[in-house]
Amino acid sequence: MARFSVGEAATAGFGVVVRHPLAVLGWALAMVVALIGPAILAFAAMGPEFARLMQWAMTHQGGAPDPAMMDQMMRAQSGMTALHLLYWLWSSFVRAVLCAAVFRAVLTPDQSAWAFLRIGSRELWLTLLILVEQVLLMIVIFIVALLIVVLTAVVAVSGGEQGRMATMVTACASSAVAGGVLIWVALRLSMAAPMTFVDAQFRLFESWTLTRGQGWRLLGVAVLVVVFVLLMEVLVGAAAVGAVVAAGGSLAAIQGPGALEAFLARPPLALLHDLWPWLLGVGALGAVFSAVIQAVVFAPWAVAHRALTRDV
């Protein structure tokens, strides 16, 4: 039976970052352009209309609602729903492109042009896979939650006044069992993304066969990746707090009782004028950090797939 090293797989993302730092910067730039840019455009398109609606809501003093305003509110809500759907589809595509770039950096490191970023059949199949997985996950979570609620309600009704403890135990135990089963299924399907990338075809349940007998190793990889991500977030958060403390002199405008409220109450353009260096710096560092996280999260599964299919 083919095996893979848990440590080698779990730390593969850090190897990608060390070997291809310029590619990581390219991924960060791609995320800024592809995700933040459309969000700003959507806000610019819908923002004025929602501002008018918010102003109307704050100034409306009861009585019969204005039909024209209600119609405008419904149109705005419909527009926002459509934007959410489009952004979900677009963000899934961007995630697929970044995932493919990380896989390419692991599996075909000689294809380093354009920071390993491509738009082709592999990226489109990965987008479909991500969308299908998200929809299936929502359906499964809804069904499982409904079953837990029904089971808990049955125990609560049958136990009467003395069944409060049994109800709590049932709810906690069933939630824990359901969570464990969902994690196990997710691990068994964890090779779907690298299989889809390598084969350039939609792969999902084919992962079940490839991961047979690998559950504990895959769990070890997943746990280590989660630990690494949490540690990185703690370190970055601590560094951000340290930077704010070190810059205390430049933040004198928000020190003192009521100073922060007065600072935020100024016109938006004045706030942007004072805060743009901070916003730019935080945005740039956040984009790079997100790119590193993408590598840390995606690379392990490509390494595991390569090992499991080495002799196939």
Above 90 in pLDDT, residue 278?
Answer: no
pLDDT for the residue 164: 75
Find the mean pLDDT for residues 159-175.
Answer: 78
Interval 18-56: pLDDT, tens: 999 999 999 999 988 887 777 666 666 665 555 555 555
Contact by Cβ (8 Å): 205, 196: no
Among residues 180, 173, 183, the alpha carbon closest in space to that of 151 is found at 173
Task: Give this prediction's pTM.
Answer: 0.81
Tracing tokens 């999260």 back to the chain, one arrives at 297
- Measured in whole angstroms, how far is the alpha carbon of residue 42 from the centre of its chain? 20
pLDDT for the residue 115: 92
Interval 186-227: pLDDT, tens: 999 999 999 999 999 999 999 999 999 899 999 999 999 999
Above 70 in pLDDT, residue 253?
Answer: no
195-199, 235-239, 280-284: segment of lowest average pLDDT: 280-284
Share of residues in the chain with pLDDT > 70 (%): 71
Among residues 122, 101, 120, the alpha carbon closest in space to that of 112 is found at 101
Tell me the two tokens of residue 261: 């409220």
The contacts of residue 27 (CB under 8 Å, 6+ apart) are 98, 101, 115, 117, 291, 294, 295
- CA–CA gap between residue 255 and residue 264 (Å, rounded): 12
Give the per-residue SS3 of 189-225: CCCHHHHHHHHCCCCCCHHHHHCCCCHHHHHHHHHHH
Tell me the two tokens of residue 51: 């501002």
pLDDT band of residue 60 (cuts 50, 70, 90) is low
